Amino acid sequence: MRRALTVGVLLLAIAFPLAMQAIDQTYYVTMASRILVYALAATSLNLILGYGGMISFGHAAFVGAGAYTASIMIAEGMPSAWIGWPLAMAVPALLALAIGAISLRTRGVYFIMITLAFAQMIYYLTVSMKAYGGDEGLTLTQRATLGFGLDLKDDATFYYVVLAILVAALFLVSRLVNARFGRVVQAIRENESRMEAIGYPTLRYKLIAFVLAGALGGLAGALLANQNSYVNPGILHWTESGKLMIMVILGGVGHLYGGVFGAIGLLGLEEVLANHKFAWLAALYPDYQQHSLLGVGVAMLAVVLYAPQGIAGLFRRGKDG
Amino acid sequence: MAEALLRVDGLEKHFGGIVATDGVTLEVAPGEIHALIGPNGAGKTTLIAQLSGSLAPDAGRILFGGADITAMPQHGRVRAGLARSYQITSIFRRFSVRDNLSLAVQARSGSSLAFWRPVAAETALAEEAGRIAAQVGLGDRLDAAAGSLAHAEQRCLEVGLALATNARLLLLDEPMAGMGPDESQRMIGLIERLRATVSVLLVEHDMDAVFRLADRISVLVNGAIVATGTPAEIRADADVRRAYLGDEVPT
Ligand SMILES: Nc1ncnc2c1ncn2[C@@H]1O[C@H](COP(=O)(O)OP(=O)(O)OP(=O)(O)O)[C@@H](O)[C@H]1O
Ligand SMILES: [Mg+2]
């Protein structure tokens, strides 16, 4: 049943660009690609925030490091995705290793603050990279090349590449969280001191999860830079980290599809609030389109109050009872 | 006398002005059940924390199986065969009883850096978990979430988690805390049966249990050991009676 649903949704996702082409609404293909990229970024954060209980407020640093690495490779004349994207995972992974080794020794609000501080440091580092545009950002002269006759400039092709990567990542995460490693990480979230007391070096496992999340976030960054053909330090700003956290909480903390639901929910909500005028909303609050973040805030409040397990939790509840 | 399994030498721990551990010297022999008794706030839990490695002592040495483990991290000590249980129940409440115990078994059997194979397919882990559950009287509660167990059952799981590490020496911090008389009797039976395979440092307020189980007893008062001896010796010790035991001593 569950598998049938997954396959069905996947088929719909595959058919989506064809349907949009048929009705001449290819704008939505671009937007869907963007949602899938954010779904990947949020899924990578969910690995540590949801499954691992590590409330990292600096995930945009890894996404941004991946975006910059991929962009710089193109700017330096090495556009092959087969080199650029693995590197866009390796650089954030190394960053995560360094940041995690220090910050994972702290707890609670200290961990939140220290991950935020590191991310801001990297943000300012990109601002100061004058050779790559500084705070102006870096415009890509071309997109990464994939070979096999695939052209990432084509919106449908880009969509399918992102979809394939997201599906692979979700499959990987689903294996991982049910394997020994994933169980250890979730048990650490549950009771870290007891994990030490039954013989686990907990810092090591948290650090490995942190590095994996950094690498996956970096890949999302590489895709984002390619989609925009542009990258600037804004992608590393703390508000971006906050956005990813909101996606995870909205979608479902520690649910496999939490990041996906969250990206659809948040970006969809932003899109709807920004581009459609609702008469009843305007009557209630005339300026609402200028304050779409307020709408997001209200949605968040509703989630926390009525669906603490996020959107994924609503589905689960339907299934169980 | 055989070499001590655990040797504690001049251990000290201060919390600000409080001396929680005051030059504690203590030995646990292989195969021994060694009880540690003392009034509330004497420093028993603080001592267990230092022995298990979650709290660093200010001074002194801890030797386990002849090796100095004073600076060894907690998980390393567990690997070496030294595991604790908690006075305040510390289990994985959202995990089933089986998963709680199998997690502890997993820690000592093979690498946990496995990212692909579902752990639920590892029958060896589940079987071992089932065996330990039966040992602590939870054989029919394997699928229950740990957080949903009754208090006494949670206490059994608490001890089961320590047991599942396959330790050579168990540090049990008041395993009978909050248990009714029948449940206590069952726990006493469990610890009695452990005697054959592991050594135990047993912190316990239940004097009936202590005097039935212990080969030797140490008395801790204000962070310092004031007496060590056989149950008969402790019972006869006038200082101990005055300092702690009062009328509780069974005759
Ligand atoms: N983390 C800490 N910070 C400050 N003081 C502490 C800390 N832990 C314990 N203490 C103090 O150290 C002393 C010993 O406490 P401990 O919990 O070890 O006693 P105990 O013998 O286990 O008592 P009980 O029988 O009530 O469990 C107490 O005075 C306690 O208040
Ligand atoms: Mg205590």
pLDDT at A320: 41
CB A206 within 8 A of CB A185: yes
Taking all residues of chain A, what is their mean pLDDT, rounded to a whole number? 89
- Measured in Å, residue A234 CA sits from the centre of ligand 2 at 52
CA distance B51 to B74: 9
Nearest-atom number in ligand 1 for the CA of B223 is: 14
Q: What average pLDDT does range B52-72 have in this prediction?
A: 96
What ipTM did this prediction achieve? 0.94
Nearest to A181 among B79, B95, B114 (CB): B114
- pLDDT tens readout for residues A71-114: 999 999 888 889 999 999 999 999 999 999 999 999 888 999 99
The number of CA neighbours under 13 Å toward the Cβ of B109 is: 19
CA distance A262 to A59: 15
Pocket test for ligand 1, best of B11, B19, B37, B44 (most atoms within 8 A of CB): B44
**CB < 8 Å to A199, chain B:** 75, 78-79, 83, 104, 107-108, 165
A10 to chain B, any CB pair closer than 8 A? The answer is no
Give the gap in angstroms from C-alpha A310 to the nearest C-alpha of chain B: 18
- When pLDDT is cut at 50, 70 and 90, the band that residue B251 belongs to is very low
Q: Give the 3-state secondary structure of A68-98.
A: HHHHHHHHCCCCEHHHHHHHHHHHHHHHHHH
Domain-by-domain residue ranges, chain B? 1-88+168-251, 89-164
Give the gap in angstroms from C-alpha B111 to the nearest C-alpha of chain A: 8
A180 to chain B, any CB pair closer than 8 A? The answer is yes
CA distance A166 to A160: 10
Name residues whose C-beta falls within 8 Å of residue B110's C-beta, 6 or more positions apart in sequence: none
A317 to chain B, any CB pair closer than 8 A? The answer is no
Instruction: State whether the beta carbon of B20 lies less than 6 angstroms from ligand 1.
Output: yes
Q: At what angle do helices B151-163 and B181-194 cross, to 10 degrees?
A: 10
CA distance B147 to B168: 28
- pLDDT tens readout for residues A123-166: 999 999 888 888 888 889 888 888 888 888 888 899 999 999 99
**Burial bucket for residue A300 (CB in 10 Å: 0-12, 13-18, 19+):** middle
**CB < 8 Å to B162, chain A:** 197-198
Name the one residue in this structure whose structure tokens are 């970096």: A218
Query: CB–CB of B52 and A197 under 8 A?
Result: yes
pLDDT at A300: 72
CA angle A156, A159, A163 (to 5 degrees): 140
- When pLDDT is cut at 50, 70 and 90, the band that residue A291 belongs to is low
- pLDDT tens readout for residues B193-207: 998 899 999 999 998
- Measured in Å, residue B47 CA sits from the centre of ligand 2 at 9
**CB < 8 Å to B73, chain A:** 196, 201
CA distance A268 to A242: 17
pLDDT at A211: 98
Give the gap in angstroms from C-alpha A268 to the nearest C-alpha of chain B: 33
CA distance A87 to A215: 9
The CATH architecture that domain B1-88+168-251 belongs to is 3-Layer(aba) Sandwich (3.40)
- pLDDT tens readout for residues A246-260: 999 989 999 999 999
Give the gap in angstroms from C-alpha A130 to the nearest C-alpha of chain B: 41
**CB < 8 Å to B95, chain A:** 187, 190
CA angle B133, B138, B139 (to 5 degrees): 70
